[in-house]
Structure 1
Amino acid sequence: MNEKKHLYFGWYIVIAASSIVLLTTGIRMGIGPFVNPIMNDLRLSRTELSIIISVGMILYGVGMPLAGILLKSFNTRIVLLLGMTIVCISIVWTVNSKGMLSFLLSFGGLLSIGLSFLSSITLSPIISKWFVRQRGKALFYLTTGSMAGIAIITPVETWLNSLVGWQNTLLLFGGILICLVFPSAIFIMREDVPEKADNPGDSGDKIKHSPPLDLTLKDALKTQTYWKIVFALFACGFGMNLLGSHGVPMLMDHHFAPMTASFGVGMIGIVAIFGTLFLGQLADRFPRKNILFLVFFVRGLGFFGLVLSSSAWQLFLVSAIGGLAWAGSVAMSTAILSDLYGIRLLGILNGFAYFVGHQIGAAVGSFLGGWGIEVFGTHLFSFSAAGILALLASLASLTIPQSISFSKPVKIGENHNITTGE
């Protein structure tokens, strides 16, 4: 009886992880308000800055599987503290950069690696360990941190830029990061998960199809389902980072005031916070692929709506409607991977999928956002591409199976064998 009166410790991990992701996502995806000040201070063209951002996206992705490997060798606490240290060093280097090369190495390179160690790739496995029955909900709440990062950090950055400049804004965020990550890593990120995690009664709500215990990375890479997840993450990375890098400049080019543009983008994240809380309640009640379809379908229509908005009320209406189901692609993709391939390989599989899919898409989207406006003189090219990719990802999501089999019998328990072949 006493245990029921206490909040399950796994939720403290979710709260801490969501807070970390809120800040790091805001720093990574909130580059939009920094674009014009950085171009002016460092005398960079939009294409040059887009190249730096794209390189950063790729290196952010490179850090993902590396974080997964480190998680297997060490633990969540070590990876978080290492990421915090790298980010702080890179921020100091970034604010003292005087040219394109220095900015590329510091902001595009070192900062991206550090932030990848503080991303959902590092935090998803420990949450998946602590949650079985409510895994979808817990991972959706982690996504809420990402949406809050876009919603809160983007307008805050715009405000702080005008107040203290982009360099001091980054330094301030570095200080906040230390105050958040250090105590979370030391006191909250515990690996001593209780038996059966949040499903002690073994009520049958847990995953019905256990993956083989000796499943390898090579086995997973041979399945079509894994590459469908990779494609979905490519569409996610392309669109979300296009929005984060060029959403505010695009709206300003369409004659919206800077704060209106920032709040237009930020409103997507604000509404998405409540959207993820609602979808999180459904994540363990309905097939995950159906929720993934809904997220990508709404997001695809949203990109067309954003680039075609011509007045403030249209912008805010599109942002509000789109935000209702904007988030959750990473949460559902992670949940599907953990359901189908198991938690043991989740860090590496998620990290590799994030790198090959999400971050390559992020690099392409970030580059095309700057290149497209300079070559074609319009943002319609890049934002329409984001919308089309999201709609294709929604269709691919519907074809994801509930379980996967493999090409040979694999013993997974005393009385269980799975004969496979996807």
Structure 2
Amino acid sequence: MTGRARWVVFGCFICQLALGYGYVFGPLLADITADLDLTRSAYGSARVATTVAMALASPVVGWLVVRVGARPVLVAAVLLIVVTYVGLSRASSLTDLYVGYALLGLLTAGLGDVTIGAVVSQWVVRGRGLALGIVYTGSNLAAVVFVQVATWLAVQQSWRTALLTIGLGGAALILPFAAGVVRDWRPGDPKPAPAPTPRGVLAADGPHMTSRDALRTRSFWVLFVALFSFFFYALAILDLLVVFLTDAGIDRQTATAYFSFAILMGLLSKVMMGLFADRMAARVAFILAFGLLALSSLILLALPAPVVLPVFAVVFGFSYAARDVVYPLMIAECFGVRNLAPIYGNLMTVLLPASVGPAFAHWCFDRFGSYEIAFEVFVGMNALVFTSLFLLRREHPE
């Protein structure tokens, strides 16, 4: 990479820190529901607002990245962090949570994989997988810090102070990089070094299909269903893991530590999967990541056994984070890089139906007294999706 490309990639890494915000609400679930006198299913329904907003905003974000560039989108999203976390810190009802979580979905879409993945893919070809992996570790690094800081502040003061502190502090850090460092590649900038042919199928960057062409292909819908299953399962686990463990008698500090460790695994996962994808076909890395995700849901059935808990944290944390890297690489493999942002944005509309994952799991708890039925559903879905991934292929315009 050129010096300018490295600087842009670093700026993208800083912007990805914002995605760590979403991880704090699971560990704070007990504090928020107790303070606002909410059931877990009611709280889970409010969390749906985040993913619904992301689903609706992602195609718009992809379109804006192509039309006006990544920088205006990123700056607007950072400013929205301030509005969101000031509002959430003052929430007094379920309606306030709905509004705050919807705003969280909008800012996550703006600072998320659609925007950042498109920028990194423009600037880097040789070693693109590794570059994406490093950039996407930003969300995991921030999540570990945010969770520990938020949990400590919730105990020492309140969950409101916790949200206000991490919201304003994170925005102050990210804004200078969003406004002054990250930008699209322009004619006249140094061209990224091409990937040598032996490094695999990403060398030609695919057939460069339009988003409309992609909608008519088999691979688009395989990717769509895979992303649905991923979010339906993963969002639920992130929301319920800490409270599930504390329900089983594990103290809050230990439960939060396992949660943080699972997120921390993403630092290793994203770099390793990026390196792996640069040396092998993206399809192989993609199937491996989703295979491990399916395995994690099977291990989930044995929780909270002490012997199994660290294994689950490793496998779930690794596979959950790997998706961030392998998914945009698989889109590029199937459809090309030129229209990655709008195609990825269209795929992210899957969050509309997948957003009910946490609410479904909490409903199972409220209705049956445990999460066991939800866990069994997760196993079946992940197994079916894994078998469908072998249908993926490089698509070509008709």
- Checking the alignment, whether the CA contact within 8 Å between 2:286 and 2:330 is kept in structure 1 is no
Amino acid of the structure 1 residue aligned with 2:229: A
- In structure 2, which of residues 69, 82, 90 is the aligned counterpart of residue 75 of structure 1? 69
Q: Deviations over 1:242-280 (max 9, x none)?
A: 111111111111211111111112211222311222222
Output aligned runs, 1:403-414, within 5 Å. 403-407=394-398
5 Å-filtered alignment, 1:142-157, equals 142-157=135-150
Amino acid at match of 1:334: P
Structure 1 residue 360 displacement after superposition: 3.0
Q: Residue deviations 1:346-405, cap 9 Å, x none?
A: 11111111122x4532x121111211101121112222322332333322223211x222
Which residue is equivalent to 1:364?
Answer: 356
- The 1:375/1:32 distance shift into structure 2, 3 A limit, reads same
Sort the Cα spacing of 1:119 and 1:382 in 2 relative to 1 into closer, same or farther, 3 A.
Answer: same
**Which residue type is aligned with residue 306 of structure 1?**
L
> What SS is found at the alignment partner of 1:248?
helix
Is this contact kept in 1: 2:262–2:314, CA < 8 A? yes
Note if contact 2:361-2:374 (Cα within 8 Å) is conserved in structure 1. yes
Structure 1 counterpart of 2:14, which letter? Answer: S
Letter in 1 for 2:107: G
RMSD of aligned C-alpha atoms?
Answer: 2.3
Give matches, 1:38-49, under 5 Å: 38-49=32-43
| 2:133–2:274 Cα contact (<8 Å) kept | yes
Q: Tell me which amino acid in the other structure corresponds to 1:156.
A: V
Instruction: Show the 5 A alignment for 1:311-322.
Output: 311-322=305-316
The reply on whether 1:119 has 2:106 as its aligned counterpart is no
Q: Which has the higher helix share?
A: 2
Matches of 2:23 and 2:265, distance apart in 1:
17
> What is the CA distance between 1:178 and its match in structure 2?
2.1
Question: What's the offset of the Cα at 1:150?
Answer: 4.0
What letter is aligned with 2:323? S
Q: Which letter does structure 2 place at the counterpart of 1:228?
A: V
- Name the TM-score, length of structure 1 as normaliser: 0.86
Structure 1 position 280 matched with structure 2 position 274? yes
Deviates more, 1:314-323 or 1:223-232: 314-323
Aligned to 2:329, the other structure's residue is in SS state helix
1:165 aligns with 2:158: yes
For the residues of structure 2 that align with 1:156 and 1:311, how far apart are their CA atoms? Answer: 28
Give the match for residue 131 of structure 1: 124
In the alignment, which of 380, 392, 402 is matched to residue 384 of structure 2? 392
Q: Which amino acid aligns with 2:139?
A: S
Within 2, Cα distance between the matches of 1:176 and 1:169? 11
Equivalent position SS for 2:125: coil
- 1:374 is matched by which residue type in structure 2? D
Match of 1:179, SS state, is: helix
Q: Which residue of 2 aligns with 1:256?
A: 250
Report the equivalent of 1:178. 171
| Superposed displacement of residue 18, structure 1 | 2.7
Letter in structure 2 aligned against 1:393: V
Aligned to 2:103: 110
Listed as ranges, the gaps of 5+ residues in structure 2 are none
**What amino acid does structure 1 have at the position aligned with 2:172?**
C
Per the alignment, residue 414 of structure 1 pairs with none
Counterparts of 1:319 and 1:387 in 2: how far apart (Å)? 16
Q: How many percent of aligned residue pairs carry the same amino acid?
A: 21
Larger Rg: 1
Which of the residues 353, 372, 377 maps onto 1:380?
372
Deviations 1:175-214 (A, max 9, x none): 2222222111233213245454133x9777583555556x
Matched, 1:63 2:54: no
Give the match for residue 419 of structure 1.
none
What's the offset of the Cα at 1:307? 4.5
Matched residue SS, 2:202? coil
1:190 to 175, 183, 188: 183
* Cα distance in structure 2, aligned partners of 1:399 and 1:212: 18
2:284 is the alignment partner of 1:290: yes
Partner of 1:12: 7
- 8 Å CA contact 2:25, 2:239 repeated in 1: yes
Per-residue CA deviation, residues 20-64 of structure 1 (Å, 9 max, x unaligned), is 323x22211331122111112222111111111112211122121
Give the count of matched residue pairs.
395
Secondary structure of the residue aligned to 1:343 is coil
Does the aligned pair in 1 maintain the 2:81–2:171 contact within 8 Å?
Answer: no
**Secondary structure at 2:22 match in 1:** helix
For residues 87 and 316 of structure 2, what CA distance do their matches in structure 1 show? 37
Q: Distance in 1 between matches of 2:285 and 2:352?
A: 22
SS of 1:44's equivalent in the other structure is coil
Q: 1:117 aligns to what SS in structure 2?
A: helix
Paired residues of 1:21 and 1:146 also in contact (CA < 8 A): yes
Alignment of 1:89-100 (within 5 A): 89-100=83-94
Letter in 1 for 2:181: I
Give the secondary structure class of the aligned counterpart of 1:336.
helix
Distance 2:152 2:307 in 1: 22
The question of whether the paired residues in 1 share the 8 Å contact of 2:81 and 2:168 is answered with no
